[in-house]
Amino acid sequence: MNGWGRILKPNIIVTDLDGTLLRSDATLSDYTRKVLAEGLAQGHMISYATARSFISSWNIVSAIPWRYPVLLYNGALLYDPVLRRKIDGRFLSADVTEAWIRVGKAFGFSPLVFALGADEREWVLHERLQREGERRFYASRPGDPRFKEVESLENGLPPFPMMLTYIGLPEELQPLMEAGLRSFGSEVHVNFMPDSYISGHYFLEISHPLANKRDGLELWARHVGCAPGQITVFGDNLNDVPLFERAGFRIAVANAHPTLKSMADAVTGANDEDGVAPI
């Protein structure tokens, strides 16, 4: 029996990926893979909630036989990993998307636009990448078929925008975030957090007001037939705060942001120590 069978009750588990389930090099250890696969085989309900897309996350964690819905884009999309289809989602309106793009350009930024097409194909649309953080993010996903460079993001977008992502230095992104929130604060959910892999850089993520891990967990719970208070969650970064706000039992990995640790019911080993897969 793995550690979940001994220490976590009820065994309904939703974990973050980057910085939590994944090691610092964005890989999954053989030990963690084995423990999760055994847990699923023993009847534990195990899933993940991530800022990543399905393609990006699947490239890393597909060795685990996931069978329950997964939360993608920080809760904007509930996705069936078996049937490979959208179950539900919270999408940005065209007006809000276009307005944030205009505000960003006033500060010298153009976002990565994560969206679904009419055929539910995932896209990451972007103008020519000019900043170091953007180029490094793109380079970290070689051959990713979602990425498409366009001449201008203002010349038409896919029907289901899920997230606008700006990557830059915090002192550059802060004024952009404040200007956007003054105009559209009630119409979006904002994540502003350090990038796990690009030193010194931050993500500024703009999504639907309900596209966060708290409301996403509510949606996930309804679809699997449990109450959010029955769910144990694992996390490490500030975008996991909403997840911790709604779950019944909260576990921070040892490398977690101090805010997460202050909210946690328990602290486990670090992500590089298989903290989500106890012995």
pLDDT in tens, 103-148: 999 999 999 999 999 898 999 999 999 999 999 999 988 888 999 9
- CA distance linking residue 248 with residue 228, whole number of Å: 6
pLDDT tier at 197 (50, 70, 90 boundaries)? confident
How confident is the model at residue 279, as a pLDDT?
52
What's the CA angle centered on 176, arms 175 and 182, to 5 degrees? 90
How confident is the model at residue 3, as a pLDDT?
52
Cβ–Cβ under 8 Å, residues 168 and 162:
no
Cβ–Cβ under 8 Å, residues 162 and 91:
yes
| pTM score, whole prediction | 0.84
